[in-house]
Chain A
Amino acid sequence: MDAMQVKFLAMGIINGFAVGAIYALLALGFVVIFKATDIFNFAQGEIMMFGAYMAMLMSNALVGKLGIVAAFTLAFLISSFTTALLASICEMTVVRPMLGKPVLSIIMITLGLAFVLRGGVEFIWGPEELPFYKPFRDAPLLVQGVPIAEVRLYTIVTSLILMGVFFLFFKYSNKGLGMRATAEDQETAFLMGINVKRIFTMSWAIAGIVGAVGGIFLGSTVGNLVPYLSHMGLRALPAVILGGMNSITGAIIGGLILGVCENLAGTYIAPHIGGGDIKEITSYVIVLVVMMIRPHGLFGTKEIERV
């Protein structure tokens, strides 16, 4: 392999990492809710889309007064906050009344929620493409001679920081401990004085934050917004399954692996089979193979059994 090819490979991996980071954030949103509440939230992609639109609204409104960097940063924070708020409100109004009902009906309700959110966004902003102003330059940066788009680097760095923050939160904070306890055994968590209902709302809020961040970077990468952005939520689904439904580490690593594999398949395999959308199916092929060997996913576990 000559130096050129190595650089090409490195570029493929880093770009894949950036896509993977977005998958990982979305997968994290799925897993946090699933772990705490046993509900699979089909509206995660729509929550992400709402975050992206919210950021667009704020940054477009503020860009004239503050300049693009400040406007984008502020929009980023406001969007994370409002999306967390929206997700919490969804939980309190739509999911909470269903507590104690069969899990399947609750999952169907999240599917309904997904349609309502997508409809709402289309109603407010319309179905056509909207430009997304962002502070990232189009000219690629050279990292060790490898050209990388600026937005990709920011995606990777921000996602890693956010994941690190959540890791510390779950490991060391009292609230994080409460969330893990609830994830393991709701009834006992209740008996230990944990307000389980508040934990549910909190898990949706966290899903809202990671969704918004994922959505903002996805929008920045693509450069414009359409309501169909929410389909990315389903693209992240294989990451969840690959990592294991109940593992946060799994969601993150699953997302990164799939992002890289997809991108590499796109650059190396696609030309040999006459183009085609090999990217779209790579994840599913990988998931299929892994499922045969590890049915609970890479990091998913059954309960610990005492030997």
Chain B
Amino acid sequence: MLKINNIEVVYSDVILVLRGLSLQVPNGQIVAFLGSNGAGKSTTLKAVSGILRYQDGEIEEGSIEFDGEMIHQLDPFEVVKKGITMVPEGRRIFREMTVEENIKVGAYARDDSAGVQKDMKMVMGFFSVLQERRGQIAGYLSGGEQQMLATARALMSRPRLMMLDEPSLGLGPLVVQDIFGIIRRVNQEEKVSILLVEQNANIALANSQYGYIMENGKIVMDGPSEKLKENEDVKEFYLGLTEEAKKKRFSEVKHYKRRKRWLS
């Protein structure tokens, strides 16, 4: 279980990004982590993965605990050894390597080659496209395939917790459905807990058991995903479902059209 206790994160010694954020991911669950751009979601993931200090950020207060161990002072590769792997935002696959080499990099820190071989088969089973494209240069894969590759790569380190930063970024609706299907299967079949950062609140809440909503470096609301979906504020701000919103948007459209005519 991952426990983030009241952390404060500062960039370049002056910019306060997280102001006392707490969050928990219980074992075996999928937890959605929502919020608008710049709320600090990615920073939170970076704090957990340990990469933060290499980007001029620092955890000033609070602690991060994973299965009872403090991990907020560890280097990224040590965090991976403890069982937490991150799928970074924008995939970040190794473009000049083949698909197979990318997947092997995921297993870099492991020294049980028999287990690695077995997991390679498991991963190829989850992502049959990757099996077909095994020897191809990864840079030429489509966006959806790249996201699958990034997920497969992360799975190769045998994580107990996988953090996904916006897996739906830039992908079409059908591909997004596919990817979330796989995320759910990974969670159920491989017993990997998942912390899911998303802009697409709809699909994130539909595929998770619990959700956190973040604004300005703080958690402003949390609860079981079912309940969050029914909450009026969540509906208005994140799901875009209220009637008032429709009216507002209509007037904006009219205003925009009128102004455009005046100008041209």
A188, A195, A196: the one within 8 Å of B94 (CB): A188
CA distance A188 to B77 in the complex (A): 11
**Residue from A184, A192, A304 whose CB has the most chain B CB atoms within 10 Å:** A192
Which residues of the other chain, A, contact B141 by a CB distance below 8 angstroms? 306
Most buried by B among A178, A191, A196, A307: A191
The residues of B that contact A185 with a CB separation of less than 8 Å are 92, 94
Which of A174, A190, A193, A301 has the most chain B CB atoms closer than 10 A to its own CB?
A193
Residues of B within 8 A of A (CB): 49-51, 54-56, 75-77, 80-81, 85-86, 88, 92-97, 101, 104-106, 108-109, 137, 139-142, 153-154, 157
| Size class of the A contact interface (CB-based, 8 Å) | 20 to 34
The 4 closest A-B pairs by CB, nearest first: A193-B80, A193-B109, A304-B139, A190-B76
B51 touching A177, Cβ below 8 Å: no
Instruction: Enumerate chain B residues within 8 angstroms of A307, measured Cβ to Cβ.
Output: 140
Query: Is A286 an interface position by the 8 A CB rule?
Result: no
Q: Decide if B108 touches A190 in the complex (CB within 8 Å).
A: no
Contacts of A196 in B (CB 8 A): 77
Residue of B nearest to A175 (CB): B108
A30 CA to B56 CA, complexed, in Å: 28
Residues of A within 8 Å of B80, CB to CB, are 191-193
Whether, in the assembled complex, A187 has its beta carbon less than 8 Å from a beta carbon of chain B, the answer is yes
Asked if A290 is at the interface (CB within 8 A of a chain B CB), the reply is no
Interface contact B139-A306, CB-CB below 8 Å: yes
Q: Residue A68 at the B interface, CB < 8 A?
A: no
Contact A178 B51 (CB under 8 A): no
Interface presence of A181 (CB below 8 A): yes
A191/B95 contact (C-beta < 8 A), A100-B54, A100-B56 known: no
Contact yes or no, B108 A178, CB < 8 A: yes
Instruction: Kindly state whether residue A303 has any CB partner on chain B within 8 Å.
Output: yes
Is A194 on the interface with B (CB-CB < 8 A)? yes
| Residues of chain A lying within 8 A (CB to CB) of residue B137 | 304
Decide if B95 touches A178 in the complex (CB within 8 Å): no
Q: Which residues of B contact A7 (CB under 8 A)?
A: none
Inter-chain contact B54/A177, CB cutoff 8 Å: no
* Set of chain B residues within 8 Å of A181, measured between Cβ atoms: 94, 97, 105, 108
Chain B residues near A177 (CB, 8 Å)? 97, 101, 104-105, 108
